[in-house]
Amino acid sequence: MDTSVVDQTKLETFVMRAIDDLSAGYGGVMVSLGSKLGLYKAMAGAGPISPKELAAETGCAERYLREWLNAQAAGGYVVYHAVSNTYELSPEQAMVLADEDSPVYIPNAWKVPASMWFDEEKALEAFRTGKGVAWGDHHGRLHCGVAAFYRNAYRKSLVPEWLPALEGVVKQLDAGIDVADIGCGHGHSSVLMAQAFPNSRFHGFDTHSASIEEARRNAEDAGVAAQVGFHKANAVDYPGKNYGLICFFDCLHDMGNPVAAARHAVEALAPDGTVMLVEPYANDRVEDNNSPVARLYYAASTTLCCAHSLSEGGHLVLGAQAGEARLREVFQKAGFRHFRRAAETPFNLILEARR
């Protein structure tokens, strides 16, 4: 290329942007190591700590810890005290890195890009052929990472915020209704609702057998197995009628035929039933989706969401940044007359549909 047309200032700025991203990728490996070795947990609430003290606390080698701690300090993931040559995890950093029940706990999320790297050859083949890659054909880190990451977000918002935003649904759940959780994955959403609404019955459906097995274990561990059932089925032929609530948690955009899924929901709903659609946050126009969150979603959509939709025939490949207008169109085509945005977060749209 003709380098005479290159603006050196713009070049240097973009190179540093690319280096920032590369640094973040390296940092993700450090986060995973820190989580799996219990380093963040050992630092949480401990105050300033030296590499030697952290080594004694965790049973890890001091020299490795010193380098790891310096990487964390360089990235702003721990605080370095130069006078005492010690390192400290602030309360805010601990919420993100050490508290596994925190809604902002991030280490599990790094399993997703790890799976994307493991599956690079599949992605290359999909790009070249246009074929899909089914959810179950990805590396196992994907399923575990997505389930663990979303579990905490749902725990924070599903029962206290999202369900109350739906018209009359909490009252119905308290009285007792049947609920279908479509694309339930590891079942965390069903389990959370079952714990909050003991009079209702919950039915989780997913096409991934390993996830269904894990969901059943999660229900047993939570003590709600008698109230929650999980079954292998897809979004267009799961059994049951007269559901008071049908939920799609971050999954409709992955489906090969979302209109057919919405149409089956129309048929399976009770006359006064509601669909709760939780989707990744997105504006309707590409130029308005210019943020780190949108970039993350578009990247995941490229190798995961669109790939699965194409593996199911790809009748309508929504992708993870569909936006409210396209989702509304899906439900209108399926026969829903009521569709509204009930709530939103920086990461999700919570939408309500009724017949």
CATH number of the domain residue 191 falls in: 3.40.50.150
Same domain, 41 and 161: no
Domain end, chosen from 99, 121, 143, is at 99
Same domain, 78 and 168: no
Q: Is residue 104 part of a domain?
A: no
Q: Residue 97 in contact with residue 106, Cβ under 8 Å?
A: yes
Q: Is residue 197 part of a domain?
A: yes
Distance, in Å, from the CA atom of 110 to the CA atom of 29, rounded to the nearest integer, reads 8
Same domain, 133 and 195: yes
What share of residues in the chain are helix, strand, coil (percent, to 5)?
55, 15, 30
pLDDT of the residue at 144:
87
CA distances from 146 to 108, 195, 313, 318 (A): 8, 21, 23, 19
Nearest of 305, 314, 261 to residue 131 by alpha carbon: 314
pLDDT of the residue at 153:
87
Boundaries of domain holding 235: 110-354
Per-residue pLDDT of the chain (355 residues; tens, 9 = 90+): 777 789 999 999 999 999 999 999 999 999 999 999 999 999 999 999 999 999 999 999 999 999 999 999 999 999 999 999 999 999 999 999 999 999 999 999 999 999 999 999 999 999 999 999 999 999 989 988 888 888 888 999 999 999 999 999 999 999 999 999 999 999 999 999 999 999 999 999 999 999 999 999 999 999 999 999 999 999 999 999 999 999 999 999 999 999 999 999 999 999 999 999 999 999 999 999 999 999 999 999 999 999 999 999 999 999 999 999 999 999 999 999 999 999 999 999 999 999 9
Q: Is residue 49 part of a domain?
A: yes
Q: Residue 44 in contact with residue 88, Cβ under 8 Å?
A: no
Burial classification of residue 330, based on how many CB atoms lie within 10 Å of its CB (0-12 exposed, 13-18 middle, 19 or more buried): buried
pLDDT of the residue at 343:
97
Q: Is residue 14 part of a domain?
A: yes
Q: Is residue 105 part of a domain?
A: no
Same domain, 87 and 146: no
Provide the token pair at 158.
């599903």
Distance, in Å, from the CA atom of 172 to the CA atom of 95, rounded to the nearest integer, reads 34
Domain end, chosen from 65, 99, 133, is at 99
pLDDT of the residue at 2:
75
Burial classification of residue 278, based on how many CB atoms lie within 10 Å of its CB (0-12 exposed, 13-18 middle, 19 or more buried): buried
In whole angstroms, how large is the CA radius of gyration of the chain? 23
Handedness of CA 20, 151, 255, 271 (dihedral sign): negative
Same domain, 288 and 343: yes
pLDDT of the residue at 145:
86
Same domain, 83 and 142: no
Question: For position 11, which CATH number holds?
Answer: 1.10.10.10
Distance, in Å, from the CA atom of 251 to the CA atom of 338, rounded to the nearest integer, reads 20
Same domain, 216 and 296: yes
Same domain, 255 and 331: yes
Q: Is residue 40 part of a domain?
A: yes
Same domain, 56 and 162: no
Distance, in Å, from the CA atom of 159 to the CA atom of 189, rounded to the nearest integer, reads 9
Spacing of C-alpha 288 from chain mean position: 21
pLDDT of the residue at 176:
98
Same domain, 203 and 282: yes
Domain end, chosen from 99, 121, 139, is at 99
Provide the token pair at 24.
């973040």
Same domain, 66 and 114: no
Same domain, 11 and 160: no
Distance, in Å, from the CA atom of 181 to the CA atom of 83, rounded to the nearest integer, reads 54
pLDDT of the residue at 1:
72
Distance, in Å, from the CA atom of 149 to the CA atom of 336, rounded to the nearest integer, reads 31
Q: Tally the domains of the chain.
A: 2
